[in-house]
Amino acid sequence: MKFFIDTANLDQIREAQDLGVLDGVTTNPSLMAKEGITGQENILNHYKAICAIVDGDVSAEVISTDFAGMVKEGEALAALHPNIVVKVPMIKDGVKAIRYFSDKGIRTNCTLVFSAGQALLAAKAGATYVSPFIGRLDDISTDGLELIEKIRLIYDNYGFDTQILAASVRHTMHVIACAEIGADVMTGPLSVMLALLKHPLTDSGLETFLADYNKSQGK
Ligand code: G3P
């Protein structure tokens, strides 16, 4: 299972990279805005900075909603670095753009996916990744994990290569359930990755080991 960090914050990306378990980065226009990255040139430079930190796929999202605009933006993004994956929304022109990019060998991440039918279309169009937003489904009392299960079943039925990138991950149980179901990737905040570390028995056990060692050394 690949771990992507879902942020445009360079310090957090560095921290996850230093941990040694990071496989890539996902961003979106909201996350870029949160870091105060504005203006096309700054945005492109920020993607380059992210690619310099992480040796893995970096999703960079198009802003256009029409086919021609998405193609123009996506080609410029893909030219920035070989690890850039063009993130395209699940809309009609987005599906066409994914097919276009796929035929040209440009990798894509189909975003804002909330149903199995959308995930099937993304795979048919040749998306490299599909991003079902599980947290946002949970927010509206719909089981996000059930969607991951459905997509896994459908993709396995037909041998689609599209990787399931569980997005909008909010807590550790999302990560563990996605791993059980067989999502290929999860993307979440640094806090979720660090929370996977935590267990009170680990902390108390370590405390006892160190106390016993110190006693045995006469300290
Ligand atoms: O990867 C998608 C993600 O950025 C959305 O997460 O927490 O805003 O639903 P969230």
pLDDT tens per residue across all 219 residues of the chain: 999 999 999 999 999 999 999 999 999 999 999 999 999 999 999 999 999 999 999 999 999 999 999 999 999 999 999 999 999 999 999 999 999 999 999 999 999 999 999 999 999 999 999 999 999 999 999 999 999 999 999 999 999 999 999 999 999 999 999 999 999 999 999 999 999 999 999 999 999 999 999 999 998
Distance CA(207)–CA(214), nearest Å, equals 11
- Note if 92 is an active site residue: no
Mutate to test the pocket of ligand 1, among 111, 134, 164, 168 (most ligand atoms within 8 A of CB): 168
Q: Which residue has the tokens 């086919």?
A: 67
Ligand 1 atom closest to the CA of 133, numbered from 1? 2
Residue with CA closest to ligand 1 atom 8: 168
Residue with CA closest to ligand 1 atom 6: 168
Residues 6+ apart with CB under 8 A from 49: 10
Residue with CA closest to ligand 1 atom 10: 168
Q: Which of 70, 72, 53 is nearest to 62 (CA)?
A: 70
